[in-house]
Structures are given as structure tokens and as C-alpha cells.
């Protein structure tokens, strides 16, 4: 079992590594191709793919870092370091998208004819190369791989849009389609940047995990026969996937250490099913005063 998990971890690193080099190589081709074809739509997607390369590179790095054991300095391990990569990636995409919009909007009113044949060739390459990266990552089993594969799937859809736009311009004299595509791609990137930043900030500020229903947690605890009440529930996420909770459980009656241990196991199993990977449980009796600030 341990050997299988080790192999899966190594495969995950290899899959993300392969996707990173594929994406980085094509990003360089895009920047050159966008300049040669005079297409701001191609350059817009090049900026997007540059951000993806940062994301893939950091994902590759953190896939390896995540294996490190916790230390005195980082008692929860290195999982939260991935948020740093998300923030850096978001800033890169934000700046790049604004720069592209500044160049694309004037072109909408004064369009320049791009090299349509070159656009078509790059669009086909974009679909193929990004598609290969998606297929490589979809073979993996880690959450990291699945998230990155969805990100690259967005790239494939973006290139299909460029392909359709270039196809129309090949038969119709409509150069305004190029800056229009560029603006559409940039706005789509900005939407995702703000969505990702909001999610990252919620984790950094220790908001409750998005997928964890706190009311359902309370309800599931009260359904346990030995539990009279619960309070002082605090939940946060280390990296968006690994959720932590502390909880005070008021027992109906005093229990032996052995019974408390058995009850803790059941409570942790219940919390685990709800999406809590790490829980700290404190038992109290009905007549016991909770002196922790803000716990009641």
C-alpha cells in the first residue's frame, strides 16, 4: 500500500513536470507567433499561458514540497505554501491581462489585419499541445493534478475560440474579430483571477472552508447519544483541501478515559465524512464553566 502511494506521488510529479514543459514551450511559440501574425488575440492567450506556466511550475514544486514532514516552524507542514503560488500566478495574470486590454481596446476601433493563416496554425497547435497536457494530467489521481488539468482545459477552449475566429476571418474581411477575441479572453482571465484571489484570501484569513457546512457539523454532533451540546466550533483550511477544526463537546454525563477515547474516535470519523481532516476535541460536563474567551 505504501509503495503504491509512493508510486502515485512520483507519477504526479512526472505528470505535472511534463505538462509544465509542454506549456512553457508553447508559451514561447505563442509570443513569437503573436508578434509575427500581428494578433493581439494570440498575445492575450500567450499571457494566459505564461500564467499557467507559473502555475504549473509552482504546482510541480509544491507537489514535491508537500511530501516534507512538518517541522517546529511549520507544524501543519508545507501545504499552505501552495497559496503563495496561487497569489503570484494571479498577480502575473492580472498585470498581463490589463496590458493586453490597453493594447486591444484601441484596436477594436482601428483594427489591423492579422496573419490569418498563421493564427490558424497556432490555434491548431494550441489545441493539440494543451490537449496533450490535459490528457497527461487526467491520468493522475492527486487533487493537484485534477485542478491543474481543469485549468489547462480552459486553455483548450480558449484556443478553440481563436480557431473559430481565425476561420471566420479567413473567409470574411473582419479584422475587428481579433481584438474582440483578445478582449473576451482577457476578461475571462480577469474573472478567474478575482475568483481565485477571493478564494485564496478566504483561506489566508482563516475563513471557514467553503465546502464545509458548519450547521451540518453541529447537527451531526448532536445526533450522537452521549452528546448534550457543542460550542466553540472553529474551522479553517490549510490549503483549500486540508480542513482543520477545534470543537468543545458537552457530555451528558462523566465518562471514563477509555469511553472518552472511543467517543473521540466516533466523533472524528463523523467529522471526516463531512470533510474535516484534522480535529481537536475537548470534552466538558454540563455544569462546567467554559472560561475560554468567545467560546460560548
> What tens digit of pLDDT does each residue of 262-292 get?
999 999 999 999 999 999 999 998 877 666 5
The rounded distance, in Å, linking the Cα atoms of 119 and 175 is: 12
Is 2-204 CATH 3.40.50.300? no
> What tens digit of pLDDT does each residue of 144-173 get?
555 566 566 667 777 788 888 888 888 888
- 20 compared with 227, residue with greater pLDDT: 227
Sequence spans of domains, the chain: 2-204, 214-284
Are the folds of 2-204 and 214-284 the same?
Answer: no
> What tens digit of pLDDT does each residue of 179-189 get?
888 788 788 87
Architecture of domain 214-284: 2-Layer Sandwich (3.30)
Q: What is the dihedral of CA 132, 137, 138, 144, to 10 degrees?
A: -150
Residues contacting 136, CB < 8 A, separation 6+: 15, 18, 19, 22
Residue 65: CB atoms within 10 A of its CB come to 15
Amino acid at each position: 500500500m505504501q509503495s503504491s502511494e509512493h508510486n502515485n506521488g512520483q507519477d504526479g510529479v512526472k505528470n505535472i513536470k511534463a505538462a509544465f514543459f509542454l506549456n512553457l514551450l508553447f508559451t514561447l511559440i505563442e509570443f513569437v507567433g503573436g508578434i509575427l501574425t500581428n494578433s493581439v488575440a494570440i498575445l492575450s492567450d500567450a499571457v494566459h499561458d505564461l500564467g499557467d506556466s507559473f502555475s504549473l511550475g509552482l504546482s510541480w514544486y509544491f507537489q514535491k514540497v508537500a511530501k516534507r514532514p512538518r517541522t517546529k516552524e511549520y507544524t501543519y507542514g508545507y501545504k499552505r505554501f501552495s497559496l503563495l503560488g496561487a497569489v503570484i500566478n494571479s498577480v502575473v495574470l492580472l498585470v498581463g491581462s490589463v496590458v493586453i486590454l490597453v493594447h486591444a481596446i484601441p484596436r477594436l476601433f482601428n483594427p489591423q489585419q492579422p496573419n490569418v493563416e498563421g493564427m490558424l496554425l497556432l490555434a491548431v497547435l494550441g489545441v493539440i499541445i494543451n490537449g496533450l497536457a490535459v490528457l497527461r494530467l487526467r491520468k493522475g489521481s492527486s487533487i493537484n493534478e485534477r485542478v491543474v488539468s481543469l485549468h489547462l482545459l480552459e486553455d483548450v477552449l480558449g484556443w478553440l475560440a481563436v480557431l473559430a475566429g481565425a476561420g471566420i476571418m479567413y473567409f470574411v474581411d473582419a479584422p475587428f474579430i481579433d481584438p474582440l477575441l483578445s478582449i473576451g479572453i482577457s476578461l475571462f482571465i480577469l474573472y478567474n483571477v478575482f475568483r481565485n484571489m477571493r478564494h485564496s484570501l478566504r483561506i489566508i484569513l482563516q475563513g471557514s472552508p467553503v465546502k464545509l457546512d458548519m450547521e451540518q457539523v453541529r447537527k451531526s454532533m448532536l445526533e450522537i447519544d452521549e452528546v448534550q451540546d457543542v460550542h466553540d466550533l472553529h474551522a479553517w483550511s490549510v490549503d483549500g483541501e486540508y480542513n482543520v477544526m477545534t470543537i468543545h463537546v458537552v457530555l451528558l454525563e462523566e465518562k471514563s478515559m477509555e469511553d472518552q477515547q472511543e467517543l473521540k474516535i466516533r466523533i472524528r470519523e463523523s467529522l471526516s465524512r463531512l470533510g474535516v481532516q484534522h480535529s481537536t476535541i475537548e470534552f466538558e460536563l454540563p455544569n462546567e464553566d467554559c472560561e475560554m474567551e468567545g467560546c460560548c
